[in-house]
Amino acid sequence: MTPDACFNREIETLDRDRLDEVIDERVRYTVRYAEEHSPFYRSWFRTHGIDFGSIRTHEDLLRLPVISGSTIRSHQPPVTSEFGFLSTPWEQVFTIHETSGTSGTPKAFFLTWQDWERFAEKYARIFVSQGFGPGDRVVVCASYGMNVGANTMTLAARNVGMAIIPEGTCTFPSRVITSFRPTGIVGSVFKLLNLARRLETEGIDPRTSGIRQLVVGGESFAPESRAYLAEVWDCPVHNTYGSTEGTMCGECDRHTGLHVPEDLVHLDLYDPALQAFVPEEEYGRIVLTTLIPPGGHCGMLFLNCDNEDTTVILSREPCACGRTHLRIMNPQREAESFRAGGAFLNRVDVERGVFQRENMEYLTGEFEAFLHDGDTVASTDLRVTVECRDPAQVDRDGTADRFVRGFIGNNPFLRAAHDGGLLTFSFTFAAPGTLEHQKVKGRPKRIVDQRTGAGTSR
């Protein structure tokens, strides 16, 4: 593709005033659609005394209550006999999906073909912004099933003119690389690193394999792990983020934040502890509102839905690529954030410490971490196990020291907790394939709270 190509240039480069007009028009239509087609929102408006006709702009959404995943689950079977969020007749439902259910009963989602077209539009924009185009061949190492991500990429590729190799996992045989000569791969940091190591054992150099771009999606990651992955494959690594609620944000090849498709989904930030929305320059939980184009329909819409991930809005100014939609920082999962010694830490902080470049002379990048009670009531010991290429050859003291420096980084709260003895570190160096999470099927849980009274603030 040519530099700064757009999939839908007219909408992707709208000036801010005109973009806000489009957003507000769709807010009004979506709210009216909710009143007319969603049993949940029809009742919700009345329960909260909301005149849906008074919601005229995206700023008006800040006056509405926030709903959560538990709200969705409490308005579907087995709690209720019907799906309260279903907002279209059954004959218009094209596919039905569920979340993984790791936090309770899976949330059900209903998509019409129009929903899929809008999802594909979002991801087509991402692919093109990253430099993909006609003739590219992309291996998708994401699950084809109840998760919408892989299917969305496949539909988007059709719109862009790309070919998709729908492997579903990164365990595909190396002949896929040598025979089909893919130009890109979609997967997680760890899957792509493991794939690179496997190719090397089979005599294939990832750097000369023909892969020109990698796309990392499905989880947040540290800048250090991105840099190392780019080094191993000798190509750019792009970031994407999505949720079943329909977020689907992606960074362009300038890597200055993830573009939010503001004409199709509205994003605000919320701090549940304060019970209020937060200023754009502050971290907050992502609150999403579906935006339906006038005349369209939707299988399941959301107004102010908390999706339990956190981010910060980086800019509403035009990007160097020419796109004008707002950009956000790589979101982090709230479920992977913990309070320790008066500071908050996230799995990404641990990943940052592991992937310090000098450490990668000894480590594979795989790790798991456990929070344990420290020596005092208020202290926490973070026990980190790292997988080594050869445990007998590791610079253990140097690796541990670099980990701590990288983990703390420029975070004054983590530094204060460490310097005050409220956050300590312990390290174990493991042989390949011996980490606990490697013995369990499914998405690995890389940080686990095993403190007394886990789940409470410490």
Report d(CA 132, CA 213) in Å as an integer: 9
Report d(CA 295, CA 28) in Å as an integer: 12
Answer whether 353's CB lies under 8 Å from 403's CB: yes
Mean pLDDT of 319-331: 96
CATH code, residues 336-449: 3.30.300.30
pLDDT of 453 reads 78
Among the listed residues 122, 142, 130, the one whose alpha carbon sits nearest the alpha carbon of residue 213: 130
pLDDT of 457 reads 44
Amino acid at position 216, single letter: V
Q: Is the dihedral of CA 184, 189, 191, 196 positive or negative?
A: positive
* pLDDT-derived band at 456, boundaries 50, 70, 90: very low
Mean pLDDT of 285-293: 96
pLDDT tens, position by position, 369-418: 999 999 998 999 999 999 999 999 999 999 999 999 999 999 999 999 99
pLDDT of 110 above 90 = yes
Share of the chain above pLDDT 90, in %: 85
CB atoms within 10 A of CB 431: 12
pLDDT tens, position by position, 11-20: 999 999 999 9
Cβ-defined contacts of 148-154 (< 8 Å, 24+):
148/97, 148/109, 148/111, 148/119, 148/242, 148/244, 149/217, 149/218, 149/242, 151/116, 152/116, 152/119, 152/120, 152/122, 152/123, 152/242, 152/248, 153/123, 153/127, 153/186
What average pLDDT does the chain have? 93
For the chain, what are the domain ranges? 9-116+243-330, 131-235, 336-449
Instruction: Return the CATH fold of 131-235.
Output: Rossmann fold (3.40.50)
Strand partners, 91: none
Report d(CA 448, CA 217) in Å as an integer: 22
Per DSSP, helices labelled H in 67-188 are: 69-73, 113-129, 149-160, 175-180
Q: What is the pTM of this model?
A: 0.93
Report d(CA 292, CA 298) in Å as an integer: 7
pLDDT tens, position by position, 19-59: 999 999 999 999 999 999 999 999 999 999 999 999 999 99
* pLDDT-derived band at 101, boundaries 50, 70, 90: low
pLDDT of 170 above 50 = yes
Q: Considering just the CA atoms, what is the radius of gyration of the chain in Å?
A: 23
Q: Do domains 9-116+243-330 and 336-449 have the same CATH topology?
A: no
pLDDT of 244 reads 76
Report d(CA 445, CA 143) in Å as an integer: 17
CATH code, residues 9-116+243-330: 3.40.50.12780
